[in-house]
Amino acid sequence: MSPSMSRRAIEVTHVVIESPKAASDIQASLESLIPPIDEETALLLSDGITDRLKQRLEAAPELSIFLKRDHGMLIGLYGNVRDAVQYEIGNPLTASRMTRYQLAAGLYAPLRVIIYEKSDGGSCIEYDLPSSVFGQFGDDRVTEVARGLDVALARALSAAAG
């Protein structure tokens, strides 16, 4: 049997938060509000599902930074380096609450956020609204969890920008 492929268009709500603050200040603020993912969690995951892992995940912060990428340096290939950092932000327990119903939701967990300096001063934070991204799966259980992410992410990013 040969593989099959399908395509469909989805509607995604894109959010832009503009701030007069420097991108580096927003990044520092965000990193003080959202801690990095607990390194022990990855180790515990490799050991399989255990009571200790479950306890660790249940005690974890609402959001964590999984990864931070410097996109501004890449722009240096074509001119001046800019301040632009992409973050992967999420929560493993929250992700599991969605992927247990729709494994494809793992495409978007953790979430991506970019913070960058604008050429005319100030900065922008951009991301896709979680409920709109996860809503494509048509599963109310997944969308409900994503709505909680909408609130948590907006609260943290607005605080960092303000």
Cα separation, 55 vs 95, in Å, equals 16
- Give 88's Cβ-side CA count (13 Å radius): 13
Between 120 and 22, name the one with better pLDDT.
22
Does residue 36 carry a pLDDT above 80? yes
Q: In a 10 Å sphere around its CB, with 0-12 CB exposed, 13-18 middle and 19+ buried, how is residue 55 labelled?
A: exposed
Is residue 106 within 8 Å of residue 144, measured between CB atoms? no
Average pLDDT over residues 60-71: 94
Assigned token pair, 114: 């970019």
**Mean predicted lDDT score pLDDT of the chain:** 93
* Residue 30 maps to a domain: yes
Residue 3 located in a structural domain: no
d(CA 50, CA 88): 25
For the domain that residue 111 is a member of, what is the CATH number? 3.30.310.70
How would residue 41 be classed by pLDDT, with cut points 50, 70 and 90? confident
Q: What is the 3-state secondary structure (H, E, C) of the chain?
A: CCCCCCCCCCCCCEEEEEECCCHHHHHHHHHHHCCECCHHHHHHHHCCCCHHHHHHHHHCCCCEEEEEEECHHHHHHHCCCCCEEEEEEECHHHHHHHHCCCHHHHHHCCEEEEEEECCCCCEEEEEECHHHHHHHHCCHHHHHHHHHHHHHHHHHHHHHHC
pLDDT of residue 120: 87
Tokens 């303000």 found at: 162
Domain hosting residue 25, numbered range: 14-161
CA distance 32 to 11: 32
Domain count within the chain: 1
Q: Is residue 36 part of a domain?
A: yes
Query: Can you name the residues that pair with 65 across neighbouring β-strands?
Result: 36, 89
The answer to whether residue 1 is domain-embedded is no
Tell me whether residue 151 is in a domain.
yes
pLDDT digits (tens, 9 = 90+) for 98-118: 999 999 999 999 999 999 999
